[in-house]
Amino acid sequence: MNSYETGIVLRALFALALPVIKRFATALRASGRIAGYRRDGQGESLAGSVAWRCGASAKGDPPLKKAALILVVAVLVAAFFLFDLDRWLTLEALKESQDRFTAAQAKSPWLVAGIFFALYVAVAALSLPGAAIMTLAAGALFGLVRGTVLVSFASSIGATAAFLASRYILADTVQRRFGDKLKAINEGMARDGAWYLFTLRLVPIFPFFLINLLMGLTPIRTRTFYGVSQTGMLAGTIVFVNAGTQLARLDHVGGILSPGLLLSFALLGIFPLFARGAVRRLQRRRVYRRWQRPVRFDRNLVVIGAGAAGLVSSYVAAAVKAKVTLVESHKMGGDCLNFGCVPSKALIRSAKLAHQMRHADRYALAPVPPTFSFREVMSRIHEVIRTVAPHDSAERYTALGVEVLAGHARIVDPWTVEVSLHGGEEVRLTTRGIVIAAGARPFVPPLPGLEEVGYVTSDTMWDRFAALETVPRRLVVLGGGPIGCELAQAFARLGAQVTQVEMLPRILIREDVEVSAFARAALEADGVTVLTGHKAVRCERDGGRKILVTAADGAAETRLEFDELICAVGRSARLSGYGLEELGIPTQRTVVTNEYLETLYPNILAAGDVAGPYQFTHTAAHQAWFATVNALFGDVKRFKADYSAVPWTTFTDPEVARVGLNELEAAEKGIAFELTRYGLEDLDRAIADSAARGFVKVLTAPGTDRILGVTIVGEHAGDLLAEFVLAMRHRLGLRKILSTIHTYPTLAEANKYAAGQWRRAHAPARALAWIERYHNWRRG
């Protein structure tokens, strides 16, 4: 086939392809897909395949469009090789044709430049071999300056076209298939993609076309890709265009990149990584410049606060043989041991037994009203605290190698902590690192008259109620969160007339609507009056009567008379009194930290309730490991706090336990999911225990068994959740749970049956039909 015939065929192919290309471009503009990945409130991110599917593609790009684009690309690439066009993109062909090209360029410079520009864009967009030769041709035809400008823009535009085509054609499939495995890459590219791309562009040994295609599968923005590509490729472009100006002296393309030049490019490529480190060091120097750093240090680590986060931090430090001091101004064990988790669960257990006594007929026993001394119930709670206390005691931690100081700590500079001991002495310690684990306190709303009528919180209730002989007759619980719900149900089961007041439209507002309704029904069945949508307006005294006044939208005020009021509207981080203000460490609702739990000063870290975003004992302990390791070894290696599978449980009866997403959050974030639900009324052990109420609800990525989140409502839901937490943390799907042997009869079988529900919904119907035919044939 001669060149004339080749030209006719190519024109025919382009004539056929042009309408499809125009239609594809129009579709791209209409769908907005060329702008990059969707923004979902957490920044531009691909948190998995589901997030991508909730973008434009979720609305349904017709498969025909993608197929048409694939066909066009395939035809053009096939034509390139079928008609042996690659022979024109060789060094020999370029040398042979240089005179003709030069003559044409001299006659029609703008036309030749335009044609060259368009061809270069096409070669780059279609990922065809020959970009290097065309770059040399630019130098030979147009000189160093004009050639560099032409190649710089043409290569960047062509690369962006390949990038967009890859994103449009492949991103959905890749993210759907490997979304969970790509999560870390997606997050890294969304955050630092420009740095990575710049490094790759600077080093010519990385295939040009491969970078374009792979970057299209990541969440990097299109404008970022274009800008960084043009900047990063500029150095290599200049080298090749300059070589093209000396075309006659070139024997082969490989001669352009000498080992020394390649090494230079490699060093230039890793320069951004060193630059980032240098920038970080400069930022640290700027932060620390007004402070005098000690020459020597008394401690490797000082930990402020001996709650869950502080105890774990000091334990980890001592375990790796660091010299660590733990400072606590109140009680060892913090809120969880003394005011929160431990006493509340002891209370809930006594209340549950009282409830079971009243309803013993459910177990074919005679129901009896429980008789008890409320003072003894509270005494048992304090005994439980005393029994657990040695686990968190100063003696135990001293034996572990931790220096424990009872006193008030204050950070006076980034490396110095001043401790006012309870005995009146002052101690100043210099330390390389500090972990702030000051915890949180109950939030008390600025409610008029509240101080006058009196109230208790989860901190003060245990001592206050320990002096009572009988349970408070009329009790108001202010707040419909987990703490409020647990206490309302427990005191109602012990005989109090409990009214729970919640300003929001439902209790447990972070849970799904059906979960909130289930919990409300359980509380009301135990005698709790639940008032949602009621705002506390003020408290009043009328003689010896104490009254809470509430208001609901469009309704008259409600007056609630009470004997005791429990304020359970949440907890606020302790942010004052230990030096944050003087050091200028930013605070919002918590101490502001980065993903490594570092504050403004990298050697001062925070963990637990004071750092957020979760206020759970187990997350405080989880964060403490990261904070301690980063404080001690951050100059060598830092670790980002991992919140990929954070569980929590509300210990009402039935319990409400969750990890990951629920339906409400998935809808808010625009994340697609499939829902699998298994009701506990079908579970043998639950039936045997007369506890056949509740459900297991699992959210999975569409078409896969990858778990996005689990909510369990039922007996021992918090214990049952652990299997799903393990599965999510280690990326095990429902198939793994289904294939695991669960003891019969146990409540844990609910997890297996939920996985079985999912499997049945995804049974291969066509394969089963053929198997049925096979069995029919086997029977003759």
CB 35 within 8 A of CB 222: yes
pLDDT number for residue 544: 87
pLDDT number for residue 246: 64
Residues 6 or more apart whose Cβ sits within 8 Å of residue 477: 484, 487, 488, 491, 498, 499, 500, 501, 565, 566, 568
pLDDT number for residue 325: 97
Q: Pick the more confident residue, 265 or 540.
A: 540
CB atoms within 10 A of CB 577: 12
Mean pLDDT of the chain: 84
Classify residue 728 by burial, with Cβ atoms within 10 Å: 0-12, 13-18, 19+: buried
Residues 6 or more apart whose Cβ sits within 8 Å of residue 43: 190
pLDDT number for residue 6: 37
Split at pLDDT 50, 70, 90, the class of 56 is very low
Split at pLDDT 50, 70, 90, the class of 177 is low
pLDDT number for residue 234: 81
**Quick one: tokens of 176?**
């759907």
pLDDT number for residue 147: 84
Q: Which of 36-40, 296-300, 472-476 has the lowest mean pLDDT?
A: 36-40
Torsion of CA 695, 696, 700, 702, to 10 degrees: -30
Split at pLDDT 50, 70, 90, the class of 144 is confident
Q: Which of 31-45, 193-207, 752-766 has the lowest mean pLDDT?
A: 31-45
| Average pLDDT of the residues in 2-10 | 41
pLDDT digits (tens, 9 = 90+) for 301-315: 999 999 999 999 999
pLDDT number for residue 131: 72
SS (H, E, C) 348-365: HHHHHHHHHHHCHHHHCC
CA atoms within 13 A on the CB side of 434: 27
pLDDT digits (tens, 9 = 90+) for 234-288: 877 787 777 767 654 445 545 444 555 445 445 555 555 565 566 667 777 788 8
pLDDT number for residue 266: 52
| Average pLDDT of the residues in 531-556 | 92
Indicate if the pLDDT at residue 607 is higher than 70: yes
Q: What is the pTM of this model?
A: 0.73
pLDDT number for residue 58: 37
Indicate if the pLDDT at residue 190 is higher than 70: yes
CB 707 within 8 A of CB 662: no
Split at pLDDT 50, 70, 90, the class of 174 is confident
Percent of the residues in the chain that have a pLDDT greater than 90, as a whole number: 60
| Average pLDDT of the residues in 514-535 | 97
pLDDT number for residue 162: 87
Q: Which of 43-52, 328-337, 771-780 has the lowest mean pLDDT?
A: 43-52
pLDDT digits (tens, 9 = 90+) for 416-425: 999 999 989 9
Indicate if the pLDDT at residue 735 is higher than 90: yes
Split at pLDDT 50, 70, 90, the class of 189 is confident
Indicate if the pLDDT at residue 203 is higher than 80: no
pLDDT number for residue 247: 53
DSSP bridge partners of 406:
328
What's the angle, vertex CA 647, arms to CA 645 and CA 648, rounded to 5?
160
- Residue identified by tokens 């999560």 is 183
Q: Which of 34-38, 172-176, 621-625 has the lowest mean pLDDT?
A: 34-38
Q: Which of 35-49, 95-109, 256-270, 344-358 has the lowest mean pLDDT?
A: 35-49
CB atoms within 10 A of CB 54: 18
pLDDT digits (tens, 9 = 90+) for 439-467: 999 999 999 999 999 999 989 999 999 99
